[in-house]
Amino acid sequence: MVHLSTIPDEQQVISGKLADGIRKAHLQLVNDDDSFTTSVYGSKFAARDLPKHEMPEAEMSKDVAYRLIKDHLSLDGNPILNLASFVTTYMEEEAEKLMAESFSKNFIDYEEYPQSADIQNRCVSMIGRLFHAPIGVEDSVGAIGTSCVGSSEAIMLAVLAMKRRWKNKRVEEGKPYDKPNIVMSSAVQVCWEKAARYFEVEEKLVYCTEDRYVIDPEETVNLVDENTIGICAILGTTYTGEYEDVKAVNDLLTKKGLNIPIHVDAASGGFVAPFVVPDLEWDFRLEHVVSINVSGHKYGLVYPGVGWVVWRSAEYLPQELVFNINYLGADQASFTLNFSKGASQVIGQYYQLIRLGKHGYRAIMSNLTRTANYLSDSLAALGFIIMSKKSGEGLPLVAFRLPPQEDRNYDEFALAHQLRVRGWVVPAYTMAPNTKNLKMLRVVVREDFTRNRCDSLITDINQCQQLLEQMDQDSVKKQQEFIHKHNTSSGKATHNHPKFRREKHSLQGKTGKTHAIC
């Protein structure tokens, strides 16, 4: 039986059976600032700005802090619709759980977390074998490698190793070593420019042309001289995704009797080519390839940031760059630009390697290739000029541009801005120098970019084009300015210090090239 309840008046609520002292404290709490609330949005914090410049004096409850920051982050773009980036945006819940359980582990502490350290060793071994690395540890024969924060750190380490090895040889021969240089494409990712500038290595660039977006092997080898520390070859350029011909460069070096090392930047292609085009020779099967980097957080299918670098053998990693450290009771050999870091991303990589296996990676990369082919054919049917390769000759992406047309009132950047209104992030770029300021758009096909979503994108591209076709030049310009100011983060950016704007030392500063997002 349900009992009947009365509805008390205010005095009855306050009184009840409480002692006077407790009742007084209760009344004081009710009239005090609302530090406690049943709703985040009923708290005093919801009526204030989030702290931006100085740490607040007082604390706030954990649920309020979480909710307010979560709400603030909701203004970020949707990662699923970000077709600019190669970086992984989907992992299984089990992988996420494993990674979350390892947030507190300092990866560098081998003594405390030996299993996490061993997982890195397993990943290096699996990735090295994927790249046909020599196996064994006796007499410095076998390959060695390490995890990194991403391919940028991996490339920095590889450049350091090549430069020091070249310098040691010059010192041994009694020759000057003050003018090292490295040969690479003008389409390199900005981390290569950083490495050259930070470590004082001259850049010898192989320039792209209007109809060639990768290095020319003959031109590349012709740039080599006695001061060349190495050659960079890219397995999947960031602009068009095309694989550079590493084998042709290797064979020309052999033919001309030049003992110059090749580093392969396989940041994007290292987890694609072995599964889609396994017979393509670009890795340690080629005698001049001495080191390779790959991004685990791109087609390695792990959240950012984890990268890997592998050397053919210890011979190519000068001993004076490696520090033997006894840290918290464990001896370890360290070659890294940082020290403490979390173990989560390495554990996430191991999960993907054993969860998917070669068959799983092959299935995913095959689907991505099919989707990229479908998108490429569809855009060609809409009249776009396709700049990327299909069917495994490059990364699963589509680079395209508008056909030449004198009376058109919009360009690739206007189309990119219009797509942004629909939620899509499809970047427009100005190509590498010597391409006559060629403009292009690029769509990266990632694991979670399904055929259904691809159809939605094609429909929106077509509709955006039709809208722009109906606008005159002045209207297009005004709309671009409005979208850039209000719909893009770059239009509202405040994090670029005035002193460092419009620099003139990079390829972007010198030529107007825009760096493709990785």
Tens-place pLDDT, residues 262-313: 999 999 999 999 999 999 999 999 999 999 999 999 999 999 989 999 999 9
Average pLDDT over residues 75-96: 93
Q: What is the mean pLDDT of the chain?
A: 87
Q: Tell me the C-alpha distance between 479 and 488, whole Å.
A: 13
Average pLDDT over residues 143-158: 94
Q: Which residues pair with 307 in a beta bridge?
A: 148, 295
At 49, phi and psi to the nearest 5?
-70, 145
pLDDT in tens, 169-194: 999 999 999 999 999 999 899 999 99
Q: Is the pLDDT confidence value at 16 over 60?
A: no
What contacts 378, CB < 8 A, 6 or more positions away?
A: 454, 458
What contacts 266, CB < 8 A, 6 or more positions away?
A: 131, 235, 236, 273, 282, 283, 292, 293, 294
Most confident of the ranges 4-8, 202-206, 465-469? 202-206
Q: Is the pLDDT confidence value at 35 over 60?
A: no
Which of 99, 143, 110, 100 minimizes the C-alpha distance to 352?
A: 99
- Indicate the SS3 state at residue 329: coil
- Binning pLDDT at 50, 70 and 90, where does residue 48 land? confident
- Binning pLDDT at 50, 70 and 90, where does residue 474 land? confident
Average pLDDT over residues 77-101: 94
CB atoms within 10 A of CB 129: 14
- The pLDDT assigned to 31 comes to 45
- Indicate the SS3 state at residue 24: helix
Q: Tell me the C-alpha distance between 329 and 502, whole Å.
A: 48
Ramachandran area for residue 511 (φ above 0: left; ψ -120 to 50: alpha; else beta): alpha
More confident residue, 11 or 216: 216
Most confident of the ranges 63-77, 428-442, 448-462, 498-512? 448-462
Contact 235, 264 (CB under 8 A): yes
Q: Tell me the C-alpha distance between 361 and 271, whole Å.
A: 8
- The pLDDT assigned to 37 comes to 53
Average pLDDT over residues 453-482: 87
At 249, phi and psi to the nearest 5?
-65, -45
Q: Is the pLDDT confidence value at 135 over 60?
A: yes
3-state SS, one letter per residue, for 186-243: CCCCHHHHHHHHHCCCEEEEECCCCCCCCCCHHHHHHCCCCCEEEEEEEECCCCCCEE
